Amino acid sequence: MNALLENWPSSAHKAPTTEISVVIPLYNEFEVITILHQRLTAVLAALEMSYELVLVDDGSRDGTPRAVSQLAAADPAVTAVFLSRNFGKEAALTAGLEHALGDAVIVMDADLQDPPELIPDMIRAWQEGADVVCMRRRSRAGESWLKRYSASRFYRLLNAISDVEIPPDTGDFRLLSRRAVEALRLLNERNRYMKGLFAWIGMPTVVIEYDRKPRAAGISKWDYLALFNLAFQGVTSFSVAPLRMAMGVGLLTALFGVLYTLWIVIKALVLGDPVQGFPSIISMMTILGGVQLLSIGLLGEYVGKTYYEAKQRPVYLVHDVVRRGKASSAMARSLSTNPVAKKGKVVCKV
Ligand code: UDP
Ligand code: MG
């Protein structure tokens, strides 16, 4: 544990005054932003702890950036981080975690599906010693049965084949201690399946159950295709089981091929049945071709992932940060191992 702690980047950047940070990724969330700010402020002010709201604008195309700027100008507790374009929720979350200064960092969605009123319970669990407080959905109001069913199947599948235990029905809504945040920052992969990364770091974890609310306003940014993609990313980022499965299918097909050939030979020699079989050749060829292409595609997925990792591009680019009402210089921040970036120098203006 000590060796691990030594490896963690120093927390020298941490202002001693911030106890709680709430990190929220925002993509086209103009409708909810005011009510979100009101409800969060009501909960956090009652805690009598110092806090900041880290609002990450993930390249929104509606009025979100303007609303975030106005909030940051009016409320010194708001830290606004503007990404240079839409990098996706996982990258926006990473940006938020990197800019958060709190001793405990709470991650939540903007749409109030994760009720801010649960924050005091999360903080209590953290004060009692938990490094990670996961929020587990007991119910998911406002979501179709298909979404609920596919989500629950997906978590079961992922846990069955992946290398880490990902608690079922937990989203990104959670609290992380400073130690947990620093540990997460060590994971510098480009392919960021956050739920998997959260689980990978381990650490003393407490699970609290809650009822998931429908969206307060606006629409979900995820259609079924995007969700399928996320699930596929989850599986291929945390397991090579699909590759092994492809091997298994190949083995079974080959075995079937050998037995079938034997059967044809016996039929020809013993029963004197001449070889016919144009239809069987065609069906075998299409089945085999399909299995082969599928396996190559799967292999390609893993090779492609390696390709993206090898490029070592930053996970996101920030074009502006407003903290305590003041804008800081535009800086490319990334999880990259680039030593220049680590020292906090300006590597790239956006
Ligand atoms: N989000 C984001 N970037 C994106 C898509 C979504 O930052 O490219 C944010 C979004 O603003 C919200 C959170 O991720 O705060 C969850 O999105 P959403 O509510 O649409 O997902 P769902 O709850 O339907 O899974
Ligand atoms: Mg949502």
pLDDT tens-place values along the chain, 350 residues long: 344 444 444 444 444 578 899 999 999 988 889 999 999 999 998 888 889 999 999 999 988 999 999 999 888 889 999 999 999 889 999 999 999 999 999 999 998 888 888 999 999 999 999 999 988 887 666 667 777 777 777 777 777 777 777 777 788 889 999 999 999 998 888 888 888 888 888 888 888 888 877 766 667 666 777 777 777 777 887 777 888 888 888 888 888 888 888 888 888 888 887 667 777 787 788 888 878 888 888 888 888 888 888 888 888 999 888 888 777 754 444 433 333 344 333 333 33
Crossing angle between the packed helical segments 278-311 and 241-269, to the nearest 10 degrees: 160
Beta bridge partners of 52: 21
Q: What per-residue confidence (pLDDT) applies to 347?
A: 35
| CA-based R_g, the chain, Å | 25
Q: In what order do the strands lie in the sheet with 170-177?
A: 205-212, 132-140, 170-177, 104-107, 20-26, 51-57, 78-83, 318-323, 326-328
Q: What per-residue confidence (pLDDT) applies to 141?
A: 62
Helices H / strands E in the chain, number of each:
12, 9
Kindly state if the Cβ of 81 falls inside 6 Å of ligand 1.
no
Question: How far apart (Å, rounded) are the C-alpha atoms in residues 127 and 125?
Answer: 5
Ligand nearest to the CA of 143: 1
Question: How far apart (Å, rounded) are the C-alpha atoms in residues 77 and 41?
Answer: 9
Ligand 1 centroid to 283 CA: how many Å? Answer: 45
- Atom 24 (ligand 1): residue with closest C-alpha? 220
Quickly count: other Cβ atoms within 10 Å of residue 343's Cβ: 8
- Atom 21 (ligand 1): residue with closest C-alpha? 220
Cβ distance 204 to 118 under 8 Å? Answer: no
Crossing angle between the packed helical segments 241-269 and 224-238, to the nearest 10 degrees: 90
Kindly state if the Cβ of 221 falls inside 6 Å of ligand 1.
yes
Kindly state if the Cβ of 89 falls inside 6 Å of ligand 1.
yes
Q: Pick the closest to residue 318 from 347, 291, 283 (CA basis).
A: 347
Kindly state if the Cβ of 96 falls inside 6 Å of ligand 1.
no
Q: What per-residue confidence (pLDDT) applies to 199?
A: 85
Among the atoms of ligand 1, which is closest to the Cα of residue 28?
Answer: 11
Write out the two tokens for 191.
Answer: 């392919």
Kindly state if the Cβ of 113 falls inside 6 Å of ligand 1.
yes
Among the atoms of ligand 1, which is closest to the Cα of residue 27?
Answer: 11
At 239-291, the pLDDT tens digits run 778 888 888 888 888 888 888 888 888 888 888 876 677 777 877 888 888 78
